[in-house]
Chains A and B, each alone.
Chain A
Amino acid sequence: MTEFLSVAPQVLFGQLLVGLINGSFYALLSLGLAVIFGMLNIVNMAHGAFYMLSAFLGWLLLTHTGLGYWWALVLAPLTVAALGIALERCLLRHLYRLDPLYSLLFTFGIALILEGAFRHYFGVSGQAYPIPELLKGGHNLGFMFLPTYRAWVVVFSMAVCFGTWYAIERTRLGAYLRAATENPTLVQVFGINVPVMISLTYALGVGLAGLAGVLAAPIYQVSPLMGSNIIIVVFAVVVIGGMGSILGSILAGLSLGILEGLTKVYYPEASNIVVFVVMALVLMVKPTGLFGKEH
């Protein structure tokens, strides 16, 4: 097959796949952030830490009990979500009446505690997590080799993303969420227990991060640094996409991942910072974000 702009197709499509995978993680993580931000009006700085925690729970589950990937995919996000509920009910809830910056600082503190604890016990190197049997291997598509697990990651995260989008935008429960985001007092007066909704929303957002963590384990290695490494890019994605838009975060995440992949092919030195450059451009042209509604 012919080369594209002097790059071999295998290389190009290989990087595009990497970009698509990264983009899937960006989408999943920024979706969780957007859900939390919409309902609670806080930036969950601990989001990356929960992602990391879930990956580690999966790894610990495997090494200590032998329970594998499919167990981890269910148990780890649920555990992380439960932790999120506990945190929200006991501590975070008391900060709602204050400037949202305090909630931001609180979640930042939680992130430090989580990352610090894991760094202390596991150092900064990563632990390997094996790809599950069912998803090993891959297919030769001619222009590239498609590993099965990576295809699974993309398909599964897209399903989760669009499933979440559908649930929020098209269902009755989602209507409660949207209404409570807009006017929590009135929704409570109608008889809906909004404080419980808020806890569950935080759990949902954090659970999404947890899901991303388990998905990431076989690809990125499980390391205490994996959360902070990815979360700052996700923040940039969220600023680009515009907070408060579910669809916006998904689309922005995917496209920026792909853009990163393309940059890696044609201009590798910039691949680390291309997302931030795009963010700077968006800030100059459309500060509220590409899909953003002013909150």
Chain B
Amino acid sequence: MPDRHRPETTGAPVLLSVRDLNAWYGESHVLHGVNMEVRKGEVVTLLGRNGAGKTTTLRSIMGIVSKRTGDIEYEGKDLTRLPMHVIGRSGIGYVPEERGIFASLSVDENLLLPPVVRPGGMTVEQIYALFPNLQGRGSTQGTRLSGGEQQMLAIARILRTGMRLLLLDEPTEGLAPVIIEQIGVAVRALRERGFTIVLVEQNFRFASQLADRHYIMDEGKVVDMIPASELAKNSERLQRYLGV
């Protein structure tokens, strides 16, 4: 059941703003002017077909795609000139599509790897409360966990750092419905705690249950923005864009 538009986020300050973002992979021009903004405490999704540029947008924000033009501002700071590790330290946490659990690290080491960059991060106990599956797995090799558990670990390790903006790239991809439920519960809990989340998702049902607003991307551009409250009205448009 889609959440209604939450009043406490309408007046909140803009945490992340992306204006006219163009990006290239080598010679290939992949983003043609992405515009979006995310307010503090919001959950915003990037929807779109495969190849629309959703992951590339996240990677451009983090500075992984280095050839880019346009404005990216986080808490008023321009990110486009900063090196990757400084962007991370500014407080943006990235959970990549491939999850990125390190095989040469144990679960504990994976969990504790990202350094604390801001005060106010969750404690390990709080993280285990949110993701009980991860408890007691400490010395297991990171990649021995199941896909769902690795996804939880990938989210969990960011929570300790004090990063307040989370970029989640397809957290439910390839996971069983039961696990997707669990992740949905966790993301909702994070929302309650005041995290700001940008969610890239192909799973529309999952996205629609959590988000305040939906950005639609097509061919490297943001082509539309639909608030949660207006989803029902726009189902036809959504079908066109997403092939849903």
Q: Interface residues, chain A, CB within 8 Å of chain B?
A: 172, 175-176, 178-179, 181-183, 185-194
Q: For residue B87, which residue of chain A has the nearest CB?
A: A189
Q: Does B194 contact A (CB under 8 A)?
A: no
Cβ contact of A182, chosen from B63, B103, B117, cutoff 8 A? B103
Once the chains bind, are A179 and B113 in contact (CB under 8 Å)?
Answer: yes
Q: Could you count the A-B residue pairs with CB atoms below 8 Å apart for me: how many are there?
A: 59
Sorted nearest first, the 9 A-B pairs with minimum C-beta distance are: A191-B88, A190-B114, A191-B89, A188-B84, A178-B104, A175-B109, A186-B100, A179-B102, A188-B85
Q: What are the interface flags for B82-108 relative to A under an 8 Å C-beta threshold, 1 for contact and 0 otherwise?
A: 011111110000101000101111000
Q: Does B72 contact A (CB under 8 A)?
A: no
Once the chains bind, are A188 and B88 in contact (CB under 8 Å)?
Answer: yes
The distance from the CB of B229 to the nearest CB of chain A, in whole angstroms, is 34
Q: For residue A177, which residue of chain B has the nearest CB?
A: B104
Q: Does B36 contact A (CB under 8 A)?
A: no
Q: Does B112 contact A (CB under 8 A)?
A: yes
The distance from the CB of B165 to the nearest CB of chain A, in whole angstroms, is 13
Once the chains bind, are B113 and A185 in contact (CB under 8 Å)?
Answer: no
Q: For residue B90, which residue of chain A has the nearest CB?
A: A191
Once the chains bind, are B114 and A191 in contact (CB under 8 Å)?
Answer: yes
Q: Does B227 contact A (CB under 8 A)?
A: no
Most chain A beta-carbon contacts within 10 A, residue among B96, B104, B117: B104
Determine the chain A residues whose CB is within 8 A of the CB of B117 once the complex forms.
Answer: 191
Determine the chain B residues whose CB is within 8 A of the CB of A191 once the complex forms.
Answer: 85-86, 88-89, 114-115, 117, 161
Q: For residue B114, which residue of chain A has the nearest CB?
A: A190
- Give the size of the chain B interface in residues (CB under 8 angstroms): 24
Q: Does B228 contact A (CB under 8 A)?
A: no
Most chain B beta-carbon contacts within 10 A, residue among A175, A185, A190, A192: A190
Q: For residue A170, which residue of chain B has the nearest CB?
A: B109
The distance from the CB of A192 to the nearest CB of chain B, in whole angstroms, is 6
Once the chains bind, are B102 and A172 in contact (CB under 8 Å)?
Answer: no
- A190-B85, A190-B113, A193-B85 given; name 5 further pairs at CB < 8 Å: A182-B102, A186-B94, A189-B63, A189-B88, A190-B114
Q: Does B62 contact A (CB under 8 A)?
A: yes
The distance from the CB of B183 to the nearest CB of chain A, in whole angstroms, is 20
Determine the chain B residues whose CB is within 8 A of the CB of A183 once the complex forms.
Answer: 100, 102
Determine the chain B residues whose CB is within 8 A of the CB of A175 once the complex forms.
Answer: 105, 109, 112-113
Most chain B beta-carbon contacts within 10 A, residue among A172, A189, A193: A189
Q: Does B244 contact A (CB under 8 A)?
A: no
In the complex, 11 of the A-B residue pairs with CB atoms within 8 angstroms, ordered by the A residue number, are: A172-B112, A179-B102, A179-B113, A189-B88, A190-B85, A190-B88, A190-B113, A191-B85, A191-B86, A192-B85, A193-B85
- Given A172-B112, A175-B109, A190-B114, check contact A185 B103 (CB 8 Å): no
Determine the chain B residues whose CB is within 8 A of the CB of A193 once the complex forms.
Answer: 83, 85
Determine the chain A residues whose CB is within 8 A of the CB of B83 once the complex forms.
Answer: 188, 193
Determine the chain B residues whose CB is within 8 A of the CB of A188 once the complex forms.
Answer: 83-85, 88
Once the chains bind, are A190 and B104 in contact (CB under 8 Å)?
Answer: no
Q: Does B64 contact A (CB under 8 A)?
A: yes
Determine the chain B residues whose CB is within 8 A of the CB of A172 once the complex forms.
Answer: 109, 112
Most chain B beta-carbon contacts within 10 A, residue among A172, A191, A193: A191
Once the chains bind, are A178 and B105 in contact (CB under 8 Å)?
Answer: yes
Once the chains bind, are B94 and A189 in contact (CB under 8 Å)?
Answer: yes
The distance from the CB of A97 to the nearest CB of chain B, in whole angstroms, is 12
Q: For residue B84, which residue of chain A has the nearest CB?
A: A188
Once the chains bind, are B105 and A179 in contact (CB under 8 Å)?
Answer: yes
Once the chains bind, are B62 and A189 in contact (CB under 8 Å)?
Answer: yes
- Complex Cα spacing A183 to B99, Å: 11
Cβ contact of B64, chosen from A181, A182, A185, A190, cutoff 8 A? A185
The distance from the CB of B117 to the nearest CB of chain A, in whole angstroms, is 5
Cβ contact of B84, chosen from A178, A179, A182, A189, cutoff 8 A? A189
The distance from the CB of B73 to the nearest CB of chain A, in whole angstroms, is 18
- Complex Cα spacing A190 to B115, Å: 7
Q: For residue A244, which residue of chain B has the nearest CB?
A: B104
- Complex Cα spacing A190 to B117, Å: 9
Determine the chain A residues whose CB is within 8 A of the CB of B94 once the complex forms.
Answer: 186, 189
Most chain A beta-carbon contacts within 10 A, residue among B84, B114, B115: B84
The distance from the CB of A186 to the nearest CB of chain B, in whole angstroms, is 5
- Complex Cα spacing A193 to B64, Å: 14
Determine the chain A residues whose CB is within 8 A of the CB of B115 once the complex forms.
Answer: 190-192
The distance from the CB of A57 to the nearest CB of chain B, in whole angstroms, is 34
- Given A179-B113, A191-B114, A191-B117, check contact A186 B105 (CB 8 Å): no
The distance from the CB of B153 to the nearest CB of chain A, in whole angstroms, is 13
- Complex Cα spacing A131 to B102, Å: 46
